[in-house]
């Protein structure tokens, strides 16, 4: 139950609260009072005064709608962080002194940003810290002197190592940002390999939502975050159902988090309204919106990672690069799959937006798809959105490495093995019937399950290799097929993916084994 209280004055006490709202009055912490707002707690009031020697520690959601006055210095207001989240503050008073914590997990890169003014790289002592240069398309490690200042609106990359301090909590002490702000020092160096990509940061002590209320000038519509080795994005200017890329389900950026945006011209600027701030649990997954657009979402999974590329047909789309809609590819870690389209020379697109009439006006209507992964990996490709296309005009995936065609209307999944030795220009996506489609492609191989057996029927005299995986990607069986009808026993019930490779046949099918 939420409590409504007219006035609270704490004298030399310690209080831990649950959800609490204080009408239009003031909360005064005086004479060494201590107030702790626990995780999951929402606390809002009009004015908040923290007296000398007092302390408010927040791991929940604190909202101050009026004046926030902290006379106790940075130790008087502490925004906590741990492995499950962070303390969030929504306020309107600028330059409030506070301590802000940032939780870093060891042995992985984090995109970070200082949440206070006056931050220096010494805060990250014994942590690898590097800065991105757009003109040089390169990273520079920041080591000494420890007094090098950090820009409150800039993003950085941080890595904490087990050999040094391991998983740790970084502590910032300084003045907080409130009110409208903006990114005025963005860089655009035409012709470089990472043209226009700037690493910026959330300067607020709360989440901020990348939404259509932001003003963009010469800046693209995508905000890109880095999560556990893969890049994910959100574009609020895309049509409904197409705003998400690679699993990011909303536009919220956590406090102290860095993210990528792309300058597209010589005068880039972004303004951020105070209204974009929000208490938001970034890890909360929303239901996916359904798109009405004609689009294909192509996802590849391997080694517990996944990556996505999208082909979208839009009325005001263009064949060339469109800064608001198109998204150039950010390459994930080596063991993750990297799938992308190649609309024109030397470009790799994660999101490729084309005109709505591109298929009917293009002959042949073919889009090259690139794929990169380093370790030898079993990969699973799945395509969604096929229901928006005319099934009388088939869509084929051509595997140039194996010389095979795969009709995606018959089966929207495709299994393959890949490694660093493969040509990255591996696939072609054909809209319509390719001239080279084998006549027996649809009937050459039949796969089905009965009881605990998988049955695979091949053409007479044909040999092949069958590879069966469970739904977690673990290889269960590999078998050479030498007779017309093979049956393969599987011990455990559940769903499996069967891949059959031979000559001009490459077939993937999901089957279910009875328990």
Lowest-confidence region among 14-18, 57-61, 233-237, 244-248: 14-18
| pLDDT, position 289 | 60
Average pLDDT over residues 346-370: 90
Please tell me the predicted confidence (pLDDT) of residue 284.
Answer: 35
- Are 221 and 239 in contact by the 8 Å Cβ rule? The answer is no
* Average pLDDT estimate for 63-86: 96
Is the pLDDT reported for residue 13 higher than 60? no
The DSSP code sequence of 254-275 is -TTBEEEEEB-SSS-EEEE-GG
Taking 90 as the threshold, does the pLDDT of residue 451 lie above it? no
Q: What per-residue confidence (pLDDT) applies to 287?
A: 43
Mean pLDDT on 167-180:
97
**Is the confidence at residue 355, as pLDDT, over 80?**
yes
Residue 6 pLDDT greater than 60, yes or no:
no
Report the C-alpha gap between 35 and 431 in whole angstroms.
63
Answer yes or no: is pLDDT of 11 > 80: no
Q: Once rounded to an integer, what is the mean pLDDT over residues 242-269?
A: 95
Q: What is the pLDDT of residue 5?
A: 41
| pTM score, whole prediction | 0.80
Residue 358 pLDDT > 70, yes or no?
Answer: yes
Q: Which one, of 436, 438, 434, 466, lies nearest residue 453 by Cα?
A: 466
Q: Average pLDDT, stretch 197-212?
A: 96
Q: Mean pLDDT score of the chain, rounded to an integer? A: 88
Binned at pLDDT 50, 70 and 90, residue 290 comes out as low
The alpha carbon dihedral of 254, 256, 258, 263 has a sign of positive
Q: How confident is the model at residue 21 (pLDDT cuts 50, 70, 90)?
A: low
Give the pLDDT mean for 454-477: 81
Q: What is the mean pLDDT of residues 415-442?
A: 80
pLDDT at position 272: 96
Q: Which structure tokens are listed for 160?
A: 């904490």
pLDDT, residue 466, reads 86
| Helical (H) or strand (E) element with 429 | strand 427-431
Please compute the mean of the pLDDT values over residues 484-499 and round it to a whole number: 87
- Whether cis (ω within 30° of 0) applies to the bond prior to 190 is no
Model confidence band, residue 323 (pLDDT cutoffs 50, 70, 90) = confident
pLDDT at 504: 55
- The mean pLDDT of 182-197, rounded to a whole number, is 92
Structure tokens at 53: 């020697």
Cα distance between residue 288 and residue 249, in whole Å: 7
pLDDT higher than 90, residue 461: no
Distances (CA, A) of 159 to 11, 111, 229, 231: 43, 9, 13, 17
Mean pLDDT of 316-339: 92
Confidence of residue 439 (pLDDT cuts 50, 70, 90): very low
User: Quick one: pLDDT at residue 443?
Assistant: 53
3-state secondary structure of 276: helix
441 has pLDDT over 50 = no
Question: Percent of the chain, pLDDT > 70?
Answer: 90
pLDDT tens per residue, range 113-152: 999 988 999 999 999 999 999 999 999 999 999 999 999 9
Which string of DSSP letters, residue by residue, matches 331-396? P--TTS-EEEE--STT--EEEEEEETTHHHH-SS-EEEEEEE-SS-EEEEEEEE-GGGS-TTS-EE
pLDDT band at 24 (very low <50, low <70, confident <90, very high): low
pLDDT (mean) for 493-512: 78
269's tokens = 């600027």
Helix or strand (DSSP H, E) at 132: strand 128-133
Residue 15 has pLDDT above 70, yes or no: no
Instruction: Decide if pLDDT at 7 tops 50.
Output: no
Residue 107: helix, strand or coil by DSSP? coil
What's the pLDDT at 285?
A: 34
- Cα–Cα distance between 191 and 193 in angstroms, integer? 7
Q: What's residue 440's pLDDT?
A: 44
- With a cut of 60, say whether residue 283 has pLDDT above it: no
- Report the range of poorest mean pLDDT among 170-174, 243-247, 309-313, 340-344: 340-344
For residues 17-43, b (16+ Cβ closer than 10 Å) or e, as one string?
A: eeebebeeebbbbbebbbbbbeeebbb
Based on the number of CB atoms within 10 Å of its own CB, is 423 exposed (0-12), middle (13-18) or buried (19 or more)? exposed
Q: What is the mean pLDDT of residues 243-255?
A: 94
22: confidence class by pLDDT, cuts 50, 70, 90: low
Say whether pLDDT at 26 is over 90: no
């Amino acid at each position: 139950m939420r409590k409504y209280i007219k006035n609270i004055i704490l004298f030399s006490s310690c209080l831990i609260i649950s959800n609490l709202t204080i009408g239009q009055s003031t909360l005064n912490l005086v004479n060494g009072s201590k107030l702790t707002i626990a995780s999951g707690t929402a606390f809002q009031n009009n004015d908040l005064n923290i007296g000398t020697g007092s302390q408010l520690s927040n791991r929940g959601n604190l909202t101050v709608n009026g004046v926030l006055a902290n006379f106790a210095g940075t130790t008087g207001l502490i925004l906590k962080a741990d492995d499950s989240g962070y303390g969030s503050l929504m306020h309107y008073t600028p330059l409030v002194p506070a301590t802000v914590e940032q939780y870093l997990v060891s042995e992985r890169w984090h995109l970070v940003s200082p949440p206070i003014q006056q931050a220096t790289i010494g805060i990250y002592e014994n942590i690898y810290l590097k800065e991105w240069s757009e003109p040089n398309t390169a990273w520079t490690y920041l080591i000494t002197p420890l007094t090098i200042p950090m820009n409150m609106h800039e993003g950085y990359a941080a890595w904490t190592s087990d050999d040094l301090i391991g998983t740790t909590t970084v502590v910032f002490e300084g003045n907080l940002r409130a009110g409208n702000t903006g990114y005025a020092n963005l860089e655009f160096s035409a012709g470089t390999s990472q043209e226009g990509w700037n690493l910026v940061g959330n300067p607020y002590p709360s989440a901020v939502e990348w939404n259509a209320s932001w003003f963009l000038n010469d800046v693209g519509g995508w905000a890109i975050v880095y999560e556990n080795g893969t890049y994910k994005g959100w574009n609020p200017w895309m049509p409904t159902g197409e705003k998400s890329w690679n699993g990011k389900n909303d536009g919220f950026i956590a406090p102290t988090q860095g993210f990528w945006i792309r300058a597209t011209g010589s005068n880039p600027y972004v303004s951020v309204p105070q209204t974009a701030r929000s208490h938001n649990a970034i890890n909360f997954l929303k239901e996916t919106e359904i798109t009405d657009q004609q689009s294909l979402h192509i996802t590849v999974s391997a080694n517990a990672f996944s990556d996505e590329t999208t082909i979208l047909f839009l009325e005001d789309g263009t064949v060339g690069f469109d800064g608001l809609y198109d998204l150039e590819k950010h390459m994930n870690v080596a063991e993750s799959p990297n799938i992308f389209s190649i609309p024109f020379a030397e470009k790799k697109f994660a999101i490729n937006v084309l005109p709505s009439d591109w298929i009917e006006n293009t002959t042949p209507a073919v889009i090259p798809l690139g794929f990169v992964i380093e370790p030898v990996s079993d990969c699973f490709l799945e395509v969604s959105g096929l229901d928006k296309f005319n099934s009388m005009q088939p869509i084929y995936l051509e595997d140039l490495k194996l010389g095979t065609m795969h009709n995606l209307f018959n089966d929207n999944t495709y299994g393959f093995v890949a490694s660093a030795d493969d040509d990255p220009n591996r696939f072609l996506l054909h809209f319509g019937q390719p001239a080279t489609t084998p006549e027996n492609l649809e009937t050459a191989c039949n796969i089905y399950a009965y009881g605990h057996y998988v049955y695979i029927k091949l053409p007479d005299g044909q040999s092949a290799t069958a590879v069966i995986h469970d739904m977690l990607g673990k290889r269960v069986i590999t078998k050479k097929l030498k007779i017309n009808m093979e049956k393969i026993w599987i011990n455990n019930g559940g769903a499996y993916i069967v891949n059959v490779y031979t000559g001009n046949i490459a077939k993937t099918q999901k089957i279910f084994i009875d328990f």
